[in-house]
Structure formats: C-alpha cells, structure tokens
Chain A
Amino acid sequence: MNLEDLIPTNEICAKYRVESTFVRSLHESGLIEIITVEETQYVHCDTISEFESLRRLHYDLDINLEGLEAIQHLLGQVRKLQKENLALKNRLNIFE
C-alpha cells in the first residue's frame, strides 16, 4: 500500500475536530479501517468520504455507534438496490 494514500488519524482528528476515541470506536465497530504503519495509525484516503458521512451523522444527528452500524448496513442495501435498478435501466436503454 502506498503511504501517500494514507492520512494519519491524528491529522483527521485535528481537521474535523473530533476526538481520537471517535475514530477508534468507528474502527472497533468495523465502520472504517485503520492501518498501522510503524506505530502510526492511518486511514486510507478512499475512506475519507465514508468517515465524513459517519462524522456528520454522529455529531449532527446525535446517532450513536450502534445506530451508525445499522445505518451503514441499511445504506449498503439501498445502494445495492439502486445499482441494480440503474443496471436494469441501462439494459432497457439498449433495447430502446
């Protein structure tokens, strides 16, 4: 994995003004992946938009970690269904 694609968790905490325990809790709940390289913890840059969304839900809407887990699960299903729907629409377009 390229180190340039990784963002240290302490930078994330400073930029988004969140506690390190929040990032750790997200990791422990399996909501984001933390990568440790030479004792420094990182988050992959592709995970940032997911992290931002979780941060908003937690801090803006007061949704706790259990709620975030349930939401992630349901959103995964919604996105899967949306993808299927889109694929079917695109297939229909071929015949139009």
Chain B
Amino acid sequence: MDFIDYYKLLELDKSASQADIKKAYRKLARKYHPDLNPNNKEAQLRFQQINEANEVLSDPEKRKKYDQYGKDWQHADAYEEARKQQQASGGRTYTGGGFGNTGFGGSHGSYSYSGNFDEDTFSDFFEEMFGSRARAHGSGRGHHFKGQDFNAELQLKISDVYTSHKQTLSVNGKSIRLTIPAGVENGQTIKIKGHGGPGVQGGPKGDLYITFNIINNTKFKREKEHLFSQVDLDLYTALLGGEITVDTFNGKVKLKVKPETQTGTKVKLKGKGFPKYKKENQFGDLIITYNVKMPDNLSTREKELFKELQKLRS
C-alpha cells in the first residue's frame, strides 16, 4: 500500500490554509466531477482521489494526524503504543488525536461532493490510517444515488432484425452480450437494467439504454410490423389478368392478378410482413401496390391494333 500525497493531489503545499484547501478542492472538483465528465473513468478516479484528499486535509484533526506521521503512517500504531506507555509511566502529556476507528466521526464543517462513483470511494491508505468508520463522515451528504445511466446506439441492417439474434456490444469498456429481439424498430430504445454506472453510497446501479438505428437497404418500406412495396405490372397482365412472382422479405411468392387491375391497386399478403416485436411467430402483412407500366417503342402493327381497340371503345 503506497503513501498518498494529498497535498500533491490538491496541488497545494503543506502550509496551505483551510481557505486554500477549499479553493483548490472546488477548482479540481469542478474539473473532474463525474456529472461533468460522462463515461470518463479517468475523471471519476481523479475525483475520488481529490475527494479523499479533501476529506483528510479539510478536517483539522485528520490533517494533523496525516501531517504528523506522513510517510511513516505504517508505523503510526507503534508510535501510538509508545506514547500510551509513556503516558502510563508518568511521561509528558500528549495532546494529539488518537488512532483507530472511532476518533474521526465528528462534524467540523467541511464539505465533500457527491457524484456518480462507487461506494468504495476511499483508498486502502485512507482506510488504514483513519479507519473504515471514518468514511461515514466522508460520504458526502448521505444520499443514496442511483448510478449514471449509460446510453448507446446500435446500428443494424433491417435484415438483422428480421430474426432474433445475439450480439456482443462494447459499452464503456465492458462487453455485454444481449439478445436482439426480432421486430425491433428504428429509433426504439430498450433498457438493460443494472448495466449503467455504479451507484453512490449503496444506491443501485444505473441502467443501460440502447437505441437502435435500423438501416433499411431494401425495397420494402416498413411501418411497425407491416411492409409495403411497389410491383410493376405490364399492361397486358393488368388488363387480362395472370400470374406473377413477387418478392417478399424472405423469398418469392406467386400471385394471381385479377383482370383489369388498375394502377394503385393494393393487395395484402397476410403474414408476409415483418415479425411483431416480442410476439413469437406473429408477423405483420405485406401490402403490395401495383404500378401498371405502359409499353413503349410501339411497332406500327401494335399502333394499328391499339387504334382498333380505341375504335371499339369509342
């Protein structure tokens, strides 16, 4: 366990006044506060360190003890034992603070900031020197905060969300394997409980929110679980009827076309749409809109025949 130079952490020298400590702490806290540094572990660690430094240096008793033993803190217990023996044997009176877990819980008007960091915010050095109960004093304002919520965006192709599948995501350096349910929509956000930042002072962990960005690179337009597409019909099939093959999202189907089908006629293919979100084996519909294509580059003979037809209709 290494000695921690609290003065160095707060960028102060040993003669710093309480006002200097407060000023330095406030300046650094504004710089490294977790609320101002989202998803920045380095800032979070630094904030914990300066919080601890402030906890010691802003408390006159703790500072005195820290200054007195400094780098020799590991031998503090031995010094204390020697002091007690000296007192018992009628030696000079020692007026300094005691060691152990009970001496540093009082109020002294210091300040410390809360934030989104782990409950285990104090170093082993602090625990060893001031005892674990000292943290009760140094734990900010006593509130229990839920950890920071994390947000992530996941970009997927529309074909990726036609079936449920597992995917590994990297969030804040952690790999999370999650099942992406079929039918997830573009812009939809799902909450993964407890995968956010750690809680403060025993508060629950934050949540992870994943927003899906679904790229549609197909000819199908999607509205929730329904799909829409345009199908070209040649004039003769539209007029006389027939059978065509159309694309659905997962293959081709044969379709009968009624005679005299007009442009804009819609046909619903039930159950050939997109999977319904979190409803297994349930699908929306595919709605096809016919677009009758007129023939071009007519031959002389074709023109004659169309004129014949025109005469019949007039």
**Contact size class for B?**
20 to 34
Kindly list 6 other residue pairs between chains A and B, CB separation below 8 angstroms, not including A79-B151, A86-B170: A61-B29, A61-B33, A75-B36, A90-B154, A90-B170, A91-B155
Give B163 Cβ to nearest chain A Cβ, in Å.
17
When distances are taken between beta carbons in the complex, the residues of chain A under 8 Å from B143 are 16
Q: Which residues of A contact B146 (CB under 8 A)?
A: 48-49, 52
Residues of B contacting A61 in the complex (Cβ-Cβ under 8 angstroms) = 26, 29-30, 33, 113
Known contacts A82-B38, A89-B170, A52 near B33 by CB under 8 Å: no
Q: Is the CB–CB distance between A87 and B213 below 8 Å?
A: yes
Q: Is the CB of B113 within 8 A of A86?
A: no
Nearest A residue to B171 via CB reads A86
Residue B145 is within 8 A (CB to CB) of chain A in the complex: yes
Query: Does any Cβ of B come within 8 Å of A21's Cβ?
Result: no
Closest to B113 in A: A60
The reply to whether the CB of A53 lies closer than 8 angstroms to some CB of chain B is yes
Interface string of B111-132 (1 = CB under 8 A from A): 0011100000000000000000
Q: Which A residue sits closest to B111, measured CB to CB?
A: A60
> Which residues of chain B are within 8 angstroms of A83 by Cβ–Cβ distance?
151-153, 211
Q: Nearest B residue to A71 by beta-carbon distance?
A: B36
Point out the residues of chain B lying under 8 angstroms from A87, CB to CB. Answer: 152-155, 213
Instruction: Give B contacts to A, CB under 8 Å.
Output: 26, 29-30, 33, 35-36, 38-39, 113-115, 143, 145-146, 148-149, 151-155, 168-171, 206, 211, 213
- Residue pair A90, B33 in contact (C-beta under 8 Å): no
Contacts of B36 in A (CB 8 A): 57, 71, 75
The majority secondary structure among interface residues of chain A is helix
How many angstroms from the CA of A75 to the CA of B155 in the assembled complex?
Answer: 22
A16 to B169, CA, bound (A): 35
Does the CB pair B39–A52 fall under 8 Å? no
Q: Which residues of A contact B35 (CB under 8 A)?
A: 53, 56-57
The 10 listed contacts between A and B (C-beta, < 8 Å) are A49-B146, A49-B206, A52-B145, A56-B33, A56-B114, A78-B38, A82-B38, A86-B153, A86-B170, A93-B170
- A62 in contact (CB, < 8 A): yes
Given that A86-B153, A93-B170 are contacting pairs, would A56 and B26 also be in contact in the complex, using a CB cutoff of 8 Å? Answer: no
The answer for the CA separation of A87 and B154 in the assembled complex, in Å, is: 6
Q: Is the CB of B114 within 8 A of A60?
A: yes
Q: Separation in Å of the B109 CB from the closest CB of chain A? A: 15
Residues of B close to A71: CB separation below 8 A: 36
Contact string against B for A residues 21-65, beta-carbon threshold 8 Å, 1 for contact and 0 otherwise:
000000000000000000000000000110011001100111100
Minimum CB–CB distance from B86 to chain A (whole Å) comes to 44
CB neighbours (8 Å) of A84 from chain B are 153
**Chain B residues closer than 8 Å to A60, beta-carbon distance:** 29, 33, 113-115
- B152 adjacent to A86 (CB under 8 Å): yes
